[in-house]
Amino acid sequence: MTWTDDLRRILQRLRGERPEAQPPGGIECHEAMAKIFDWLDNELDPQEAECVGEHLQTCARCYPRLKFEQAFCEALKRASSNETAGADLQQQILDALVEEGYTTD
Protein backbone atom coordinates (compact mmCIF):
# COMPACT_ATOMS: atom_id res chain seq x y z
CA MET A 1 0.00 0.00 0.00
CA THR A 2 1.39 3.37 -0.98
CA TRP A 3 0.92 6.70 0.75
CA THR A 4 -1.47 7.79 -2.04
CA ASP A 5 -3.79 4.92 -1.15
CA ASP A 6 -3.69 6.02 2.50
CA LEU A 7 -4.41 9.58 1.50
CA ARG A 8 -7.37 8.52 -0.64
CA ARG A 9 -8.83 6.51 2.20
CA ILE A 10 -8.46 9.41 4.62
CA LEU A 11 -10.14 11.76 2.16
CA GLN A 12 -12.93 9.25 1.61
CA ARG A 13 -13.51 9.00 5.35
CA LEU A 14 -13.49 12.79 5.71
CA ARG A 15 -16.10 13.04 2.94
CA GLY A 16 -18.18 10.41 4.68
CA GLU A 17 -17.76 7.89 1.84
CA ARG A 18 -17.41 4.21 2.41
CA PRO A 19 -14.08 2.81 1.28
CA GLU A 20 -14.26 1.08 -2.10
CA ALA A 21 -14.98 -2.57 -1.80
CA GLN A 22 -13.13 -5.10 -3.94
CA PRO A 23 -15.44 -6.17 -6.81
CA PRO A 24 -16.49 -9.86 -6.80
CA GLY A 25 -13.73 -12.15 -8.04
CA GLY A 26 -11.37 -9.17 -8.03
CA ILE A 27 -12.52 -8.09 -11.49
CA GLU A 28 -14.92 -5.47 -12.76
CA CYS A 29 -18.30 -6.21 -14.38
CA HIS A 30 -17.19 -5.22 -17.87
CA GLU A 31 -14.22 -7.59 -17.69
CA ALA A 32 -16.42 -10.46 -16.53
CA MET A 33 -19.02 -9.68 -19.20
CA ALA A 34 -16.39 -9.71 -21.94
CA LYS A 35 -15.44 -13.25 -20.89
CA ILE A 36 -18.84 -14.68 -20.16
CA PHE A 37 -18.86 -17.03 -23.18
CA ASP A 38 -15.23 -17.99 -22.70
CA TRP A 39 -16.21 -19.02 -19.20
CA LEU A 40 -19.36 -20.87 -20.26
CA ASP A 41 -17.39 -22.66 -22.99
CA ASN A 42 -14.59 -23.66 -20.58
CA GLU A 43 -11.99 -21.78 -22.57
CA LEU A 44 -10.26 -19.92 -19.72
CA ASP A 45 -7.20 -21.08 -17.85
CA PRO A 46 -8.03 -22.30 -14.32
CA GLN A 47 -6.95 -19.13 -12.53
CA GLU A 48 -8.88 -16.80 -14.79
CA ALA A 49 -11.86 -19.14 -14.81
CA GLU A 50 -11.99 -18.92 -11.03
CA CYS A 51 -12.04 -15.10 -10.98
CA VAL A 52 -14.58 -14.79 -13.78
CA GLY A 53 -16.72 -17.57 -12.31
CA GLU A 54 -16.70 -16.04 -8.87
CA HIS A 55 -17.66 -12.66 -10.26
CA LEU A 56 -20.47 -13.95 -12.47
CA GLN A 57 -21.93 -16.11 -9.72
CA THR A 58 -21.82 -13.55 -6.95
CA CYS A 59 -22.33 -10.18 -8.66
CA ALA A 60 -25.97 -9.14 -8.41
CA ARG A 61 -25.77 -7.34 -11.75
CA CYS A 62 -24.02 -10.08 -13.72
CA TYR A 63 -25.66 -13.17 -12.26
CA PRO A 64 -28.98 -12.85 -14.19
CA ARG A 65 -27.05 -12.42 -17.42
CA LEU A 66 -25.06 -15.57 -16.66
CA LYS A 67 -28.27 -17.55 -16.04
CA PHE A 68 -29.80 -16.09 -19.19
CA GLU A 69 -26.90 -17.12 -21.45
CA GLN A 70 -26.63 -20.48 -19.70
CA ALA A 71 -30.33 -21.24 -20.24
CA PHE A 72 -29.95 -20.30 -23.90
CA CYS A 73 -26.92 -22.55 -24.46
CA GLU A 74 -28.64 -25.43 -22.67
CA ALA A 75 -31.71 -25.03 -24.89
CA LEU A 76 -29.48 -25.30 -27.99
CA LYS A 77 -27.78 -28.43 -26.68
CA ARG A 78 -31.06 -30.04 -25.75
CA ALA A 79 -32.58 -29.35 -29.16
CA SER A 80 -30.37 -31.76 -31.06
CA SER A 81 -29.66 -34.32 -28.35
CA ASN A 82 -32.49 -36.59 -29.48
CA GLU A 83 -31.36 -36.76 -33.06
CA THR A 84 -29.80 -40.05 -34.05
CA ALA A 85 -28.66 -41.38 -37.36
CA GLY A 86 -31.00 -44.36 -37.24
CA ALA A 87 -30.06 -48.01 -37.08
CA ASP A 88 -30.11 -48.41 -40.86
CA LEU A 89 -27.32 -45.99 -41.51
CA GLN A 90 -24.78 -47.88 -39.39
CA GLN A 91 -25.50 -51.09 -41.32
CA GLN A 92 -25.36 -49.17 -44.60
CA ILE A 93 -21.95 -47.83 -43.77
CA LEU A 94 -20.67 -51.26 -42.79
CA ASP A 95 -22.05 -52.70 -46.03
CA ALA A 96 -20.43 -49.94 -48.04
CA LEU A 97 -17.08 -50.58 -46.36
CA VAL A 98 -17.31 -54.29 -47.09
CA GLU A 99 -18.19 -53.48 -50.70
CA GLU A 100 -15.06 -51.34 -50.93
CA GLY A 101 -13.08 -54.41 -50.03
CA TYR A 102 -12.67 -54.02 -46.29
CA THR A 103 -13.38 -56.80 -43.90
CA THR A 104 -15.32 -56.35 -40.71
CA ASP A 105 -12.91 -58.23 -38.48
Partner 1 sequence: MDAVYRFALRLTGEPDAASDLTQDTFLRAWENWDRYTPGTKAKSWLFTICRNLFLRRRERARRHDEIVTAVADDDPRNVSRESTVFLAVKDRDPEGAFWSDVVDARILEAIEALPPEFREAVVLSDLEDLSYAEIAKVMDVPVGTVKSRLFRGRRILQERLYQYALSEGIITDEGREA
What is the binding site for partner 1 (CB under 8 A)?
30, 33-34, 37-38, 41-43, 64-65, 67-80, 82-86, 89-90, 92-93, 96-97, 100, 102
Rounded to a whole number of angstroms, the minimum distance from the CB of residue 73 to partner 1 is 6
Looking at residue 26, the DSSP 8-state letter turns out to be: G
Rounded to a whole number of angstroms, the minimum distance from the CB of residue 17 to partner 1 is 29
Answer whether 32's CB lies under 8 Å from 60's CB: no
Integer angstrom CA distances of residue 62 from 26, 37, 73, 76, 98: 14, 13, 17, 22, 56
- Put residue 23 in one of left, alpha, beta given phi > 0 → left and psi -120 to 50 → alpha: beta
Specify the residue, 25 or 35, whose C-beta has the smaller distance to partner 1: 35
Q: At what angle do helices 63-80 and 46-58 cross, to 10 degrees?
A: 110
Specify the residue, 18 or 78, whose C-beta has the smaller distance to partner 1: 78
Specify the residue, 2 or 80, whose C-beta has the smaller distance to partner 1: 80
Specify the residue, 20 or 88, whose C-beta has the smaller distance to partner 1: 88
